[in-house]
Each structure stands twice: as C-alpha cells, then as structure tokens.
Amino acid sequence: IDKEGTIAEPFCAPEQIVVPASGGCAVLDVEDATIADAGWTRFLPALRPLGLACARGAARHPVAAHRRRANLRRLGRTLAAQDSCPCRLGRAVGMAPSDIAEFRVIREIAAFAQNDSQPASFSASVVCADGAEPSSLHVLSDGCVDAILGTCIDYFDGSAVRVLDDRTLASFRALHENALQQDLQCLAFAYRPLALPTAPPWPAWDGRSARPVLVDLGSHTYADDAPLPLHLSQTAREQRVRSGTAAAATSASLDCAPAALTCGEEAFLHDALSAQIFLGLVTFTYEPKTDVCDFIEDLDLAGIRFVHFSPANGRQSKSFAERLGLETDWNTCILLSADPAAPGGYVEDHDIKARLPRGIASIRAHLADVDDVPLQVSLFAECTPDATREMISILQDYGDV
C-alpha cells in the first residue's frame, strides 16, 4: 500500500530544526509544530530569521491547499518536503502576523535543474520589500540542501554573520546525510539583503502580474568546455551538465505561458540567487496516522500479521517501520531488489549480524532449503511493484495470505 495518505499523513511534518550556533549546531526537536526542547529560547536569535523564511515563503499560498510547489511539478520532480507548508514553524519561533506583514512579496523565483526521473536540485525564493518602499529588498530562499548550500558564502549563528568555511559546510552536509539515512527529508534555508538605489524599473514587479517569468541560467550548449554562469554552484553545474538543462522560474503560478524578461531583470535575478547567508535546516518526516499504530497492534492480537512493502532502502524503511511499531532488529527486514555483488543471492546485514536472502528470485530457494524467515518478517525494503506482487504470490502459496 502507499505510505503517503494511507498509513501516513499525506504531508510531511517537521521533525527537527538545525541552526548554526556558537561552536557547532543546535538540533531542536519539533512536535506538533512546536519546539519541544527545554531552553530552546536561547537559540532564538538564530531561529527568528529561519522562522521568517518559513512563514513569509509560504504566506502567499492558501493554507487550505497546504501544498506550496504543486505548480512546479510539470517542470521537474520536487521533494515532498518542498510541497509541505512550513508556515507554522514561523509562528513556533514567535513570528507574529504583524512581523510577516511588514515584508511584501514582490516576486517569487524557482530555480532547479530539470530531471524527469529524480527529484530535482531545487530552490524557491521570494523577493520581499520591507515596507511600502522597495528600495530595500530581501531574498528568502528554501530548497534542497545541495542547492541552497551551493549558493551560500556565509552563515548566521545568532550573533554574527560568519564565513561558511569547508569545516562548517562539511558538518551540515553530514547532518543532511544522516537525516537521509533516517528516512527524513531536508530543506535548507538562506537569506540575502539587496540594496537598490531606486525601485526596480520592470513592469512585472508591480505585484499584480500573475504570469511566470522563465530565466535561462546559461547557454543551451552543455559540452564540457561550454561556459556556465558563475552564479551556479559547483553541484548545480555538475548536475546541469548531466541532465542537459536547467531553468529558473518566477511567479505564484506556472499554469500560463511565461513572460519575457529584460536583460536587466534577468541579471538581477541571477545576482539575487548568489552569495546568500545560510540560516539552517529543517527535517521533515511522514508521521503515521493517529489510528494506524493501534490498528496494527489490534491485528497482531487477532493473529493477523501486518506486512509493509517499502520502495526505500533498508535503513529508511526500518526508520519508518519503527514509527509504525514494527520490529526492526534481528531478521526483520528483507531486501527484494537483486544485488549483483551479493554471491548466491544473500546479503550480510552487519547491523544485526544476520544472513538474509536478497532479491525476490532468492526467496523460494531459501524457503525450500534453509528456513521460513521470509514468511515471518513484517518488512520488505527496496520493493518494486513486480517484486511486491511476486512476494504476495509466495505468501499465498504458503497459506499466509
């Protein structure tokens, strides 16, 4: 069965907030859109800019829809966390509606490398004017970690803006990798102030235009020696060469034909997305629905075993299974994907010191020659529709379904 919307809530929920702090990072747990850690207010100076980015970046989108990036799906795959609305996090750190209202959104920018098969390296930004006069502009950005970190040169630790050196950058990338292993999705947040001598002269910046504006991020020639714009990070440059295309878009809606840009506006948008200040990360997770865990327990009491087939890898699948209340230790998870490097169709699970069959093609032989462990587990990972169908057929053949 599908995880999203069936056994889990349809939208990701915030799990943790990570902000730079003096001497390292502050990792704060989030429960019901409130910060659960005692003493979290000492990190308030670092949290408030991130809270503003959460609240202001989502303020123009209807709360009822609660989906921010649905209109970008036709341009590339986005992470589910990029659809989820983080506006309540802004209120959790004390951002009042009056604070948010001071920042008037005058343009939205979405920049990503298109890739039809994988979630895109994506960032979304809003350009805000502080008060009625747009001479002082602010760029608030959020997106996948690689895309945001690639555009940042500094970070804010709550007391000062500091240079984003390699050591600090590596620590945030390590936090991101660790979150992925725990079946969490990450959004990074950044900020940049922009000072203009006069209001932007472009008609599309009057706040009334609903037409999207597409910005070409560089040449349409993607050979290795083709020049790429300097405002693209190294990560984005490499992904762009691999995927063969990249684009940026601006507007609250992308359902209509794009409008043309002037040369001055295009250069401004390129500049606005570079040299940003990193604010922190928010991790998101799919929470099981409130009655699912009780339902699984009731099934167990009735002698019915709940089995979850997950397309994610083993570690991510186990992380979600723990939230469901399923066993995740010894002999509890079998990978249904084939691994050419594993001899004899077996995989050594060093986390639990178990030798389990790997791949749907190895299941029947294991049942015939070894034991019936595949009939006893409640979690199968790295599942495709065909492998899931075959495993259900095996369970039927042995009378378990």
25 in the same domain as 102: yes
Q: Which domain holds residue 19?
A: 13-285
In sequence order, which residues have a C-beta less than 8 Å from that of residue 377 and are 6 or more positions away?
307, 331, 332, 333, 334
Same domain for 325 and 218? no
Q: Angle CA(341)–CA(342)–CA(346) in degrees, nearest 5?
A: 165
Any domain includes 238: yes
Closest of 164, 156, 154, 157 to residue 22, by C-alpha: 157
Asked if 45 and 153 sit in the same domain, the reply is yes
Tell me: do 258 and 336 sit in the same domain: no
Inform me whether the pLDDT recorded for 116 exceeds 70: no
Of the listed ranges 19-28, 78-87, 88-97, 205-214, the least confidently predicted one is: 205-214
Q: What percent of the chain has pLDDT over 90?
A: 14
- CATH number where 297 lies: 3.40.50.1000
Q: Is the pLDDT of residue 209 over 70?
A: no
50 or 349: whose pLDDT is higher?
50
Same domain for 324 and 374? yes
In a domain, 344, yes or no: yes
3 located within any domain: no
- Region of poorest pLDDT, from 7-16, 35-44, 223-232, 337-346: 223-232
pLDDT exceeds 60 at position 82: yes
Top mean pLDDT of 64-68, 142-146, 263-267, 384-388 is at 384-388
Q: How many separate domains does the chain show?
A: 2
Is residue 8 domain-resident? no
**Dihedral sign for Cα atoms in the order 25, 27, 28, 30:** positive
Q: What is the DSSP string of 145-176?
A: HHHHHTTEEEEE-SS-EEE--HHHHHHHHHHH
Q: Is the pLDDT of residue 242 over 60?
A: no
The reply to whether 32 falls in a domain is: yes
Q: Same structural domain for residues 328 and 249?
A: no
User: By C-alpha distance, which of 388, 283, 386, 373 is closest to 331?
Assistant: 373
314 and 249 in a single domain? The answer is no
236 pLDDT tier (thresholds 50, 70, 90): very low
Tell which residue, 213, 207, 30, 210, has the closest CA to residue 103.
207
- 123-132, 245-254, 365-374 — which one is most confidently predicted on average? 365-374
Query: Which of 285, 319, 352 finishes a domain?
Result: 285
Decide if 6 is inside a domain.
no
- Containing 53, the helix (H) or strand (E) segment is helix 44-58
- Are 268 and 316 members of one domain? no
Last residue of a domain, one of 249, 266, 285: 285
Domain boundary among the residues 285, 315, 333 is at 285
Considering the domain architecture, whether residues 262 and 382 belong to the same structural domain is answered as no
Flag whether 2 is in a domain. no
CA nearest neighbour of 61 among 150, 126, 156 = 126
CATH assignment at residue 60? 3.40.1110
**Over 60: is that where the pLDDT of 74 sits?**
no
